[in-house]
Structure 1
Amino acid sequence: MDIRRYNLLAPHTVLALPGFANLNVGEVPFKLAATFGWSFLLRGYYNGRYRDNNALAFQAEVRQRLIGRLGVRYLHQQAT
């Protein structure tokens, strides 16, 4: 399950709240186990570094546009 929510805080400021859940039942083969990391969620962890039967990941990000297409992001991430 992949859930995302975007809230406009100010004219050039967005709060992004993505979440991800991978829940498995029974015996799961290693290659099909839930993994953490990607370029869009839980940045800094390569995909597959951590594996388990179940995975929950949530992230909060404030995106601020500065000039034109140039912007900055403030990131907080949590994985269980």
Structure 2
Amino acid sequence: MQVQITVADGKITASQVLQVPWNDHRDQEINSYAVPILNQEAVSSQSASIDMVSGATYTSDGYIQSLQSAIDQAHL
């Protein structure tokens, strides 16, 4: 999982996934549902302290870890 954030004036204005597991139909189904929710939560919360998406624990964990790394790199 690789998350990229866009920052303006010290705030997260966008979050997007650059790389996500897409190996089989189940991955595609879960990630196509969970990733947009996680992106929205990241912008809303302005942090990596976001709720996990029910049924997408692996995706949520990976997203949150990558989001925290992106936030750290942006010095937020």
Which structure would you say has the larger Rg? 1
Q: Which has the higher strand share?
A: 1
Superposition TM-score, scaled by structure 2 size: 0.30
Higher relative contact order (CA 8 A, sep 6+): 2
Superposition TM-score, scaled by structure 1 size: 0.29
Q: Which has the higher helix share?
A: 2
